[in-house]
Copies of this chain bind each other. A is one copy, B any other.
Amino acid sequence: MATTMQQRMLEAMLPADLAAEPERWQQRKSVRTRIRLVEAAIDCLVEEGYAGLSTQKVAERTGASRGAMHHHFATRMDLAAAVVEHVFYRRMRGFLDDYLGSVAGARDEALFEISTEAYWRSVQTRDYAAYVELAVAARSDGDLERVFLPAARRFDAVWIGEMIESFPQWQARWETMKLVNDFVVTAHMGLLLNLPVIGERRAALVRRLVARTVAMLHAEAAAGAFEV
């Protein structure tokens, strides 16, 4: 059941690259180098920002030639688009791996707290750093935005949809669940970006406040589930 959920969510976010595992060796090799290129691109993105994501550096990093790079991704934006797909997929996979491990056998009441902590961990990953870079770059780059926003909305839709599907017993509290989710997502993104300024200590206090707010909403929803 849990694995089914994971499978469904991952499949919904699967990049076109990884859709079909081909049997021909040539194509398989092609897929492998494509993935290597995208991985290197993510490294570039994290280390040097969206501006540093150049086809040249990515090719150099993987040891591939510029020709091979251009064969797989004709333009820089093609590469960026592939990176967007992969980053969302990897974020989903990373979170699910961590979350499903820590949630095993937890009580209903602890669920929100466990989820929140898992989410905070996910925010501190390399994949999330890449995601932030893309999200911000998309604000001032129309071409990137046209690739990024649909992917982000799909991620959101899969996330919310699966959340609803997975907890049918909370039907009356779905709106609250969605709100809690949005709240945690936004608060943690802001927290990550402000971390260098406010420092670990204050960040931990804010994180505790976020957890308290989530708990408060959860308690409220549990009490008033039939009044809404």
Contact = CB atoms under 8 A, between A and B. Distances in A.
Nearest to A209: B183
B156 A182 contact: no
Interface in A39-83: 46-52
B202 A213 contact: no
Contacts of A141: 48-49
Contacts of A189: 189-190, 193-194
Contacts of A210: 183
A107 interface: no
Interface residues of A, number: 47
A196 B150 CA distance: 10
A2 interface: no
Interface string A159-202: 00000000000000000001100110111111101101110001
Contacts of A179: 202, 205-206, 209
Contact of A156 (B129, B198, B206): B198
A190 B186 contact: yes
Contacts of A49: 50-51, 136-137, 139-141
Q: Which 7 A-B pairs have the closest CB atoms?
A: A190-B190, A51-B51, A186-B190, A189-B190, A49-B140, A152-B197, A136-B136
Given A49-B140, A179-B205, A186-B206, 12 more contacts: A49-B141, A129-B139, A132-B139, A133-B136, A135-B193, A138-B196, A139-B196, A182-B194, A182-B198, A182-B206, A185-B190, A186-B191
Interface of A: 46-52, 129, 132-133, 135-141, 145, 149, 152-153, 156, 178-179, 182-183, 185-191, 193-194, 196-198, 202-203, 205-206, 209-210, 213, 216-217
